[in-house]
Amino acid sequence: MLAIWVALTTILWLVDRAGGRRSFWQMLVTLPRGGWGMMFGHMGLAVFIVGITLTSIYSTEKDVRLDPGQSYSLGGYDFLFKGAERVRGPNYTAHEAVVEVSRDGAPVAVLRPQKRNYQSGQPMTEAGIDAGLTRDLFVALGEPLGSQGAWSLRIYHKPFIRWIWLGFIFMAIGGTLAASDRRYFQLVRKARAVAAKQATVGAA
């Protein structure tokens, strides 16, 4: 509701600015940078609120034990564990799993999470990520379980998490547009001119 309120007040401001004298599209064309900055800033705030709300409510995660060929369903997606094998990187060795993600039988992505051991002795987990505008899917590889190729995995489904960053981008664009509005520079120059004139009168 807060996001809808922010978006509607911005639209109403645009309609009120048009005032019936110009069409809505003409008003958009002649809108100064400060107006565009306000629009982007407010819409970014609305997108940010939607992202936080939906992510916090509908995010799901699960720690599971999977054997090769076994799958687990989460958030409407099926995660099929194909197994894990040892691979070598430029300065590390790792176990890399292959997880095929599908939805309603249609393939979505192939994730390859890794559990790395660097030459310095520092272990690190590299999650497999499939990012999208409406959801992100994460798979992190845990520990081997038993001698039959089973592993522990942590699976995440986070809807609309990208909208949080998208909201920040919109707000940053809005701030840049507003700060570059020539009217603000004209006000600064006018204020400096008035101050200089007052200083000259005072000195006289």
- CA-CA distance, 79 to 82, in Å (whole number)? 9
For residue 130, is it within any domain? yes
Can you give the pLDDT of all 204 residues of the chain as single tens digits?
888 888 888 878 777 766 655 566 666 666 777 788 888 999 999 999 999 999 999 999 999 999 999 999 999 999 999 999 999 988 899 999 999 999 999 999 999 999 999 888 788 999 999 999 999 999 999 999 877 889 999 999 999 999 999 999 999 998 888 888 776 666 666 767 666 667 666 665
Say whether both 67 and 91 belong to one domain.
yes
Contact 138, 129 (CB under 8 A): yes
Say whether both 84 and 134 belong to one domain.
yes
Contact 168, 51 (CB under 8 A): no
Angle subtended at Cα 131 by Cα 126 and Cα 134, rounded to the nearest 5 degrees? 145
Say whether both 72 and 123 belong to one domain.
yes
- CA-CA distance, 122 to 144, in Å (whole number)? 18
* Listed residues 119, 137, 159: the one ending a domain: 159
For residue 203, is it within any domain? no
Say whether both 80 and 124 belong to one domain.
yes
Q: Write out the two tokens for 189.
A: 């120059």
Domain that holds residue 50: 2-56+163-190
Say whether both 70 and 154 belong to one domain.
yes
pLDDT given at position 130: 95
For residue 195, is it within any domain? no
pTM confidence score = 0.75
Say whether both 171 and 151 belong to one domain.
no
Angle subtended at Cα 71 by Cα 69 and Cα 77, rounded to the nearest 5 degrees? 140
- CA-CA distance, 157 to 59, in Å (whole number)? 6
Per the structure, how many domains does the chain have? 2
Q: Where are the alpha helices (DSSP H) in 31-145?
A: 33-58
Among the listed residues 5, 1, 41, the one whose alpha carbon sits nearest the alpha carbon of residue 167: 41
Say whether both 76 and 153 belong to one domain.
yes
